[in-house]
Structure 1
Amino acid sequence: MKPGVALPEVTFRTRVRDESVGGTNPFRWQDMTTADYFKGKRVILFSLPGAFTPTCSTYQLPGFEKNAQTFAEHGIDEIYCMSVNDSFVMNKWAEAQGLQAVKVIPDGSGEFTRRIGMLVAKDNLGFGMRSWRYAAVVNDGVIEAWFEEPGLCDNHGEDPYGVSSPETLLDYLAQAEKTEAA
């Protein structure tokens, strides 16, 4: 993906808490579209191979959560974490991580990830099809900046992490502000 490219229009199947459902699992299905998440907002979208996996749970997701206020000070309205996992898994992972600022987007079928060219096989890890690790600044549904880990391929022997880190995006935002001010 390149800056200036619009995100693909996709419908995501999400589960949202709704007390009117009652019972011990008061959730209902709610379809959300790309426009619902991105229209009229400047956001960070980062994607990773899987909920509950080591790098994702130890560094990437917590780093974005910890820096949420700093991102807001740089003009970011929302921070979204996407993975090729279903809504049940993503909601439980968000709960386990104690998320307050970062919101999760389940790309259960991998449709969005496929359409942006980031769907890779991770059969070597027993995962099946998953997302390659990346991050982006998205402004009103259009990519402003793209940060993709090197080595995009199926069944990669490593899990590179660095280019898509919160620190990289904070550096980008600080530089973009300096450029605008000049």
Structure 2
Amino acid sequence: MKSGTQLPDVTFHTRVRDEAVEGPNPFRWEDKTTADYFAGKRVILFSLPGAFTPTCSTYQLPGFENGYAEFKDKGIDDIYCMSVNDSFVMNKWALDQGLENVKVIPDGSGEFTRKMGMLVDKDNLGFGMRSWRYAAIVNDGVVEAWFEEPGLMDNCPEDPYGVSSPDNLKKHLSEVKEPALA
């Protein structure tokens, strides 16, 4: 995936809280498209191997959550965390992490991740198909800047982390002028 590439058009199956739904699980299904998330905004999208996993839960997601105000000051409208996990898992992880700023996107079937060229086999860890770790600055649905961890491969024996870190994206945003929406 290179800068200047349009994001793939995908429908995400999400669960959203709805107080009109009675009972102990007040959520309903809501389909959202790539355009719903990315049209008309300059955002950060970062994708990681899995909810509740160590690097993702200890460093990457908290780093983006805690750096939200600084990213906003640098011209970012929203920050999205994506994983090849279903909406139930992503919502529970967001709750567990106490997210107030970062929004989660479930790519349960891996369709978006596959179309991005980032779907990898992680059977060596018992994960099945998951996302390779990456981040992007996306401007009106077009990749403005791309941050992919090195060594993209199936069953990678390591989990590289650094290129897609919040600090690296902050550094990049400090070095570039905020562009107009595409």
Partner Cα distance (2:7, 2:101) in 1: 22
- Residue 79 of structure 2 corresponds to 79
Secondary structure of residue in 1 paired with 2:91:
helix
Letter in 2 for 1:71: F
- Residue 97 of structure 2 corresponds to 97
- Residue 117 of structure 2 corresponds to 117
Q: What's the C-alpha RMSD, in Å, of the aligned pairs?
A: 1.3
TM-score, normalising length: structure 1: 0.97
Which runs of at least 4 in structure 1 moved beyond 3 Å after TM superposition? none
Letter in 2 for 1:48: L
Letter in 2 for 1:171: K
Post-superposition CA distance 1:144-168 (Å, at most 9, x none): 0000000000000000000000000
Is contact 2:120–2:131 with CA below 8 Å preserved after alignment? yes
Matches within 5 A, 1:121-132: 121-132=121-132
How far off its partner does 1:177 sit? 2.6
Q: Do the aligned partners of residues 33 and 135 (structure 1) sit closer, same or farther apart at CA in structure 2, a change above 3 Å counting?
A: same
Letter in 2 for 1:175: E
- Residue 177 of structure 1 corresponds to 177
Partner Cα distance (2:124, 2:36) in 1: 35
- Residue 44 of structure 2 corresponds to 44
Secondary structure of residue in 2 paired with 1:19:
coil
Post-superposition CA distance 1:12-41 (Å, at most 9, x none): 000000010110000000000000000000
Where structure 1 has 5 or more consecutive residues not aligned to the other structure, the ranges are none
Letter in 2 for 1:52: F
Letter in 1 for 2:106: P
TM-score, normalising length: structure 2: 0.97
Letter in 2 for 1:75: G
- Residue 58 of structure 2 corresponds to 58
Partner Cα distance (1:148, 1:40) in 2: 24
Q: Do the aligned partners of residues 32 and 21 (structure 1) sit closer, same or farther apart at CA in structure 2, a change above 3 Å counting?
A: same
How far off its partner does 1:178 sit? 9.1
Where structure 2 has 5 or more consecutive residues not aligned to the other structure, the ranges are none
Q: How many equivalent residue pairs?
A: 180
Q: Do the aligned partners of residues 32 and 157 (structure 1) sit closer, same or farther apart at CA in structure 2, a change above 3 Å counting?
A: same
- Residue 140 of structure 2 corresponds to 140
Partner Cα distance (2:42, 2:178) in 1: 18
